[in-house]
Amino acid sequence: MNIEQQLTEKTAKALQSLYGATSDKIAFEKTSPDFIGDLTLVVFNFLKISKKKPEETATEIGTYLKDNIPEIADFNVVKGFLNIVIADSFWLNYFKIINGKPFIKPVPDNAPTVMVEYSSPNTNKPLHLGHVRNILLGYSVSKILSAAGNKVVKTNVVNDRGIHICKSMLAWQKWGNGETPESSGLKGDHLVGKYYVEFDKHFKSDVKNLKLEGATEEEAEKKAPLMLEAQEMLRKWEANDLEVRNLWNMMNGWVYKGFAESYKTLGVDFDSTYYESNTYLLGKEIIDTGLAKGVFKTRDDKSIYIDLTADGLDEKTLLRSDGTSVYMTQDLGTALQRHHEVKFEKMIYTVGNEQDYHFKVLFLILKKLGYAWADGLYHLSYGMVELPEGKMKSREGTVVDADDLMKIMIDTAAETTKELGKVEGLTDDEANHLYQSIGLGALKYFMLKVDPKKKMLFNPAESIDFNGNTSPFIQFNYVRIQALIRKAKEGWDFENLDVFTHNITLLQKEKELIIKLYNFNTVLQQAANELSPALIANYVYDLAKEFSQYYHETPILKEDQKDLILFRLQLSKTIGIVIKSGMGLLGIEVPERM
């Protein structure tokens, strides 16, 4: 079925029969638009075995292929380029098979399991723009992996304990006057975040005072009374102090409720959630294993470490001299626990690139401990989100809050939609749902169309632009297709678009569109391999753009011949299916009208 495979195989045979040797460099690529043809073979690589001029070699191979592959209609040679024209009948035939069918297949029973971790928030403040990129990436990658035939387990690790939480708790205790989400009308995560900021404010003035008394910055930060109190609170938490635990439970409860709301608006979910308060003691048994295997070593002060200098890394402490564990130890333990619970083939950590080093070390340690599954661990590292005015700093108030951002996007969508007069005939619920699809779609697409590993600039003005390479443009083209189908059902007798029995001549653009559809699976596979939603985003945009051009230059319902109307409707409908599937992989909804 796959035409490239067939061509590659036959080319190998052609080389063998023409020149008595073969090559492992046979690769077909898309023909450049300036030349005639669909697929191109570059023959320069074969000159050594053909011992002939490029043109001659290309012509000989072309002749052989044309004689042996019925789907080849024609070929032409330009310098060392062999351009192959695939017969329209092949593309039409292909279209008959896919016409109206879903493009994404269900996950087979024997599919490998992949665990994808994303979001991983701290519970001391609300989600911000950086989390948004993380969450959208992780969610989209889950969808893509699932579409590519994997069982996906989406998981979230909540960092619900530690000094950061105690800061919020302490500030609330001191200055909160019993304020609750209900009494303040604030979303729970925002309320807790407010007290985190409050802590920082008072802490800074503590530090300032101490510095006036002659302390250095470092000393002051360590000795600030507020910090000492927070640390005391953490100790009490670890000792299971009832009062502290109750406060902790209450405030975390507020935050979870707030997060749940944000996740819901964003349209993402998880199959499992791990809480660090349950896992932070894990990893200590791994220390024994490591020591027994001689992988870990003990220092004079009883702290335990691993020496990675031979691998070009540093020494990494895994157990403090007081016997407590560090972040790395916890992550080792969590990895072990998760592999035990979910027998994953692969585990993907969606975490920012500032932790590249951490994950390099984590994976290396697991490999050194001899866990074979460690080869399946992968750090999906993504770049920072920067604002036009520079980096986001929570303490300087230059953070873009996730809830605010979503609201702005939805409100702007509402405004624009009303301006364009597109709300007629919609109920309030329908209209609100539409604003949500458009506003959030724009946000998601804006963040996902960029290669994950690159840092990205978030320009608010540009992100709410609904023209050009944006989600609303893609959604709009889907909507046009649905409008065509609705009209066709009303005015014409085209109830069943799935039957394809006619024979027609393809326009150039129609052929290009079918080829585009043909490429969907390749792009999906590549996106799954590279864990890159950007590939899907760019593909869907290209498809929508080509459709938009087609729509403008070609009559569909206005066409005279009934066969042609039917075919063009079918083509449009199938393009719609692919647009919807592709957008679905990005976590973006497509409306039926807009």
Minimal distance, residue 384 CB to RNA, in Å: 6
Q: How far is the CB of 454 from RNA (least distance, A)?
A: 5
Rounded to the nearest whole angstrom, what is the least distance from the CB of residue 362 to RNA in the complex? 10
Owner of token pair 């998601």? 444
- The DSSP output letter for 493 is S
CB of 81 to RNA, least distance (A): 4
Q: How far apart are CA 543 and CA 120, in angstroms?
A: 34
CB of 476 to RNA, least distance (A): 4
Amino acid making up residue 195:
Y
Q: Residues 512, 515, 516, CA angle at the centre, nearest 5°?
A: 85
Shorter beta-carbon distance to RNA: residue 184 or 492 = 492
If the CB atoms of residues 268 and 569 are measured against RNA, the closer one turns out to be 569
Minimum CB distance to RNA smaller for 9 or for 269: 9
Contact at 8 Å (CB) between 114 and 247? no
Nearer to RNA, 299 or 489 (CB): 299
Q: Are 154 and 270 in contact (CB under 8 A)?
A: yes
Nearer residue to RNA within complex by CB, 66 or 422: 422
d(CA 255, CA 156): 15
- Residue 306 CA to residue 289 CA, distance in Å, equals 13
**Residue 373 CB, nearest distance to RNA (Å)?**
23
| Residue closer to RNA, measured from CB, 58 or 186 | 58
* CA pair distance 356, 349, nearest whole angstrom: 11
Q: At its nearest, how many Å lie between RNA and the CB of residue 350?
A: 14
Of 152 and 565, which has the nearer Cβ to RNA?
565
SS3 call for 314: coil
Residue 152: what are its φ and ψ, rounded to 5°?
Answer: -115, 130
Q: Where are the alpha helices (DSSP H) in 69-128?
A: 88-98
Q: How far apart are CA 280 and CA 258, in angstroms?
A: 24
Q: Which is nearer to RNA, 537 or 577 (CB)?
A: 537
Distances (CA, A) of 445 to 405, 475, 559: 14, 11, 34
Q: Is 290 exposed, middle or buried (0-12, 13-18, 19+ CB in 10 A)?
A: buried
**CB of residue 580 vs RNA: minimum separation in angstroms?**
15
Helix (H) or strand (E) holding 442: helix 428-448
